[in-house]
Amino acid sequence: MLEGIRHWLTKIGVLTAHPLAFAIVGLYGMLWFVWERDTFNWHGVATMATWFMTLVIQRAEHRDTQAIQAKVDELLHAQSEARNELTHIDEQEPEDIARHRQEARKND
């Protein structure tokens, strides 16, 4: 059960970095403006700006993480002593990665 929840939380984080997330927030803002125009005041604009900036930050972080992962994968492929399974560690859950890092530090 907990494993499934962690998996879906990771998926949600990845989905918020997708460009479609911006369209969803924009659509939500337009629907809010059309159906609840009296509540769409400066507070509503600030709320929409906060959601938009959160998506911008999430997208930038996702891009940076993907770039770092690509660089590390390239280095692992170039290093003959590196283990191939490390190139797929980014597909695991964050808790599993942390556990792997702790075990690797014990072996040093």
pLDDT tens-digit readout, 73-88: 788 778 877 777 777 7
Q: What pLDDT shows up at residue 35?
A: 93
Over 90: is that where the pLDDT of 95 sits? Answer: no
**pLDDT 10s digits, 34-93:** 998 888 889 888 998 998 998 889 888 888 888 888 888 788 778 877 777 777 777 777
Q: What is the pTM of this model?
A: 0.65
Cα gap 76→86, rounded to integer Å:
8
Cα gap 57→99, rounded to integer Å:
27
DSSP conformation class of 2: H
Q: What pLDDT shows up at residue 5?
A: 79
Q: What pLDDT shows up at residue 80?
A: 74
Over 70: is that where the pLDDT of 102 sits? Answer: yes
Residue 29 CA, chain-centre distance (Å), reads 22
Q: What pLDDT shows up at residue 69?
A: 81
